[in-house]
Amino acid sequence: MAVPISYSIRSLWTRRLTTVLTAGGMALVVFVFAAVLMLAEGLRQTLVQTGSPDNLVILRKGATSEVSSAIEPEKAAVLESLPGIAVDEGGETLLAREVVVLIALDKRGGGSSNVTIRGIGRESLALRPQVRIVQGRMPRFGVHEMVVGESLVRRFRGMGIGGTLPGALKDWRIVGVMDAGNTAFNSEIWADAEQVMQAFRREAYSIVIFRLQHGFPLHRVSAIVENDPRLTLQAKIETVFYLEQSEAMARFLRILGITLTVIFSLGAVIGAMITMYSAVANRTREIGTLRALGFRRRAILLSFLAESLFLGLAGGCIGIFFASFMQLITISTLNFQSFSELAFKFTLTPAIFGQSLAFALLMGFIGGVLPAFRASRMNIVEALRTS
């Protein structure tokens, strides 16, 4: 015969203060656990959404980022003759040569950080439909003009339209602000690639990007690029390329977060264990009465274990609820791969929700299993004699 679930719920309600304190401790741990996973997922999604599955990125063989890649102009010219490159309605090839450089800028709250300047080609905007101009206009080619991402305007000084940047870009004028949504482009500055190369004395492009014709086999283009000894280049789908950019940072965040969570969870588990041991001690006669009424040891065990799981479930739901509000916050950090500033948001997914809830239930189970065993093994006569 099983002990009714309502009995476990009533027992928790009777001990409202300890129940709230224990569930609150678990909620805090789950909040940290969920927030860290949301942080890593937000970083990953920001970089993945930056790319398009229809675009192919060409880099120097062995390069792990745009900053470390270099493609000489003569090699870039060879790439323009590759088969399978799509064209727009006007018959223009959807291919762009781009150069990426870093520049240190002052933040509004003090300090400085590296910001990506992307020298773009005439087809770069067509290849990135997620980017749109919200203020001003796109920079003209052949002149010292640039457009900045919205997140840079909020976080760095002098990013408004009409402003200029220090150093090599002191005579360049900001003519527009772009909104690239939840992508890395929102943390970049765009300008004419040829002008950027002259300003920073670059003799090679960082990448060549183009759109493949619909249905054209990717492996055919990749084989041509990677097997040509003259090029020493590699080809990657843009979404795959940006996913790889997120791996190092996301892994670091997960390891750090899980380490902290495990440390904090020890306190929550001990708290749950103390609460359940106290419940067993205060309800010794109740346990004896239940056993005398015919409830088996297994039923007593499951009843107390259910109470502990309820505590974990309540703490998990509360922690996830408050963690969900972190999605309203945008943070910025240094991307390990590009060494530049990157703004992104916390992102709660169904997988993170499930993992956080499972973690909360695990804490409840660990905290309650020993007290539940103790309750189930009590001698009926001794329990009934307890005053």
| pLDDT tens for each residue of 223-272 | 888 888 888 898 888 888 887 777 777 777 778 777 877 787 777 777 77
pLDDT at res. 291 = 58
Q: Could you please report the per-residue DSSP string of 12-48? A: HHHTHHHHHHHHHHHHHHHHHHHHHHHHHHHHHHHHH
Residue 94: which H helix or E strand, with range? none
Residue 72: which H helix or E strand, with range? none
81 domain-assigned: yes
pLDDT at res. 194 = 92
202 & 266 share domain: no
271: domain range? Answer: 5-48+245-385
pLDDT at res. 146 = 92
259 & 311 share domain: yes
Under-50 pLDDT residues of the chain: none
Looking at residue 262, its amino acid is: V
Tell me how far apart the alpha carbons of residues 321 and 325 are, in angstroms, rounded to a whole number: 7
pLDDT at res. 344 = 79
- Which residues make Cβ contacts (< 8 Å) with residue 266, sequence separation at least 6? none
pLDDT at res. 165 = 78
pLDDT at res. 50 = 77
pLDDT at res. 154 = 84
Of 132, 52, 133, 63, the C-alpha closest to 86 is 52
What is the chain's length?
Answer: 387
226 & 297 share domain: no
Which pTM was predicted? 0.74
239 domain-assigned: no
pLDDT at res. 277 = 66
Tell me how far apart the alpha carbons of residues 31 and 37 are, in angstroms, rounded to a whole number: 10
Distance linking the first and last C-alpha atoms of the chain: 26
261 & 355 share domain: yes
How many domains are contained in the chain? 2
pLDDT at res. 44 = 79
pLDDT at res. 287 = 59
Cα–Cα distances in angstroms (integers) from residue 255 to residues 33, 262, 342, 359, in the given order: 11, 11, 20, 16
217 & 297 share domain: no
pLDDT at res. 195 = 92
Of 303, 276, 271, 282, the C-alpha closest to 376 is 303
pLDDT at res. 244 = 79
pLDDT at res. 375 = 67
Tell me how far apart the alpha carbons of residues 166 and 103 are, in angstroms, rounded to a whole number: 9
41 & 129 share domain: no
198 domain-assigned: yes
